[in-house]
A = this chain, B = another copy of it.
Amino acid sequence: MGPRILIVEDEEPLTLLLRYNLEAEGYEVDSVSRGDEAEIRLREQLPDIVLLDWMLPGLSGIELCRRIRVRPETERLPVIMLTARGEEGDRIRGLSTGADDYIVKPFSVPELLARVRALLRRTKPGHVATLLRAGDMELDRETHRVRRAGTELHLGPTEFRLLEFLMQSPGRVFSREHLLNAVWGHDVYIDERTVDVHVGRLRKAINLPQLPDPIRTVRGAGYSFDETFARAEATASAGR
């Protein structure tokens, strides 16, 4: 199974939102609502990463983080701190308690996912693929670069995430709604047709002359990254 994540957070709805999204990305999620519970849970089983609320009943997030750093077994356990705006005081202060990263609430879901991925990549290379390849396309999450048949392409941030998301599951068709959730974030109130426009822009950006369009429109359903294309050898130049 995917990497394991422990959420330590006392706001029930937020926990659910996180769980929902993380599980959708293939993580195994466990959650507790109190700091002291978390400490116990951490003795039972070590997750690959911890999402830790700053303010917690039982044992504050800051204190818990310190304790995590003290125990040898958890010394290097990746921790992302969740803080409400205003609580942080300073970025430095957050990191100085020993967290590896921290996010200010309210945050967008895609952003959180990106941070989790980034942190896992840093700490457990191999657990997370940094390079997505499909056909003659390459997308590097780390360097944020996209290449088609060798040539470097320029994509805006949204197009990048859109392509990244589609390439993650080649062949699978996603509805506009699904794409909005996954690429833009849950709470946005954006017109579904906007997805069309971005797909259009993405296409314009990645379709060099002579090359086939890797993005498939499925009328009445949504869009997908063409899996036939994905499976095809990148024979464009090196006619192997």
Return A37 CB to nearest CB of chain B, in Å.
14
User: Quick one: given A122-B23, A219-B157, are A143 and B173 in contact (CB under 8 Å)?
Assistant: yes
A119-164 residues with Cβ-Cβ distance < 8 A to B are 122, 142-144, 156-157
- Quick check: B16 and A69 within 8 Å, CB to CB? yes
- What B residues does A191 contact at CB under 8 A? none
User: In the complex, how many angstroms separate the beta carbon of A164 from the nearest chain B beta carbon?
Assistant: 12
Contact partners of A143 in chain B: CB under 8 A: 171-173, 224, 227
A16, A92, A157 interface centre (most CB from chain B within 10 Å): A16
How far is B15's CA from A97's CA once the two chains are assembled, in angstroms? Answer: 11
The answer for the CA separation of A197 and B74 in the assembled complex, in Å, is: 41
The answer on a CB contact under 8 Å between B17 and A95 is yes
Q: Quick one: which of A75-107 are within 8 Å of B by CB?
A: 91-92, 95-98, 100
Does chain B have a CB within 8 A of A220?
Answer: yes
Is A239 an interface residue, CB under 8 A from the partner? Answer: no
Let me know if B96 and A144 touch, CB within 8 A: no
Q: Do residues B171 and A142 form an inter-chain contact, with CB atoms below 8 A?
A: yes
Given the complex of chains A and B, what is the CA–CA distance between A187 and B24 in angstroms? 33
Which of A95, A96, A144, A218 has the most CB atoms of chain B within a 10 A radius of its CB?
A144
A1-50 contacts to B (CB < 8 Å):
12-13, 16-17, 20, 23-24
CA A91 – CA B177 in complex, angstroms?
Answer: 12
List chain B residues, Cβ under 8 A from A187.
92
> Is B142 a contact partner of A219 (Cβ separation < 8 A)?
no
Q: Which 4 A-B pairs have the closest CB atoms?
A: A157-B220, A13-B96, A143-B171, A144-B173
Selected A-B contacts with CB under 8 Å, 11 pairs: A12-B69, A13-B96, A17-B96, A24-B122, A91-B186, A142-B173, A143-B171, A144-B221, A156-B219, A156-B220, A157-B221
Chain A residues within CB distance 8 Å of chain B: 12-13, 16-17, 20, 23-24, 69, 91-92, 95-98, 100, 122, 142-144, 156-157, 171-173, 186-187, 218-221, 224, 227
**Further 4 A-B residue pairs, CB within 8 A, beyond A16-B69, A92-B186:** A13-B96, A143-B227, A156-B220, A157-B221
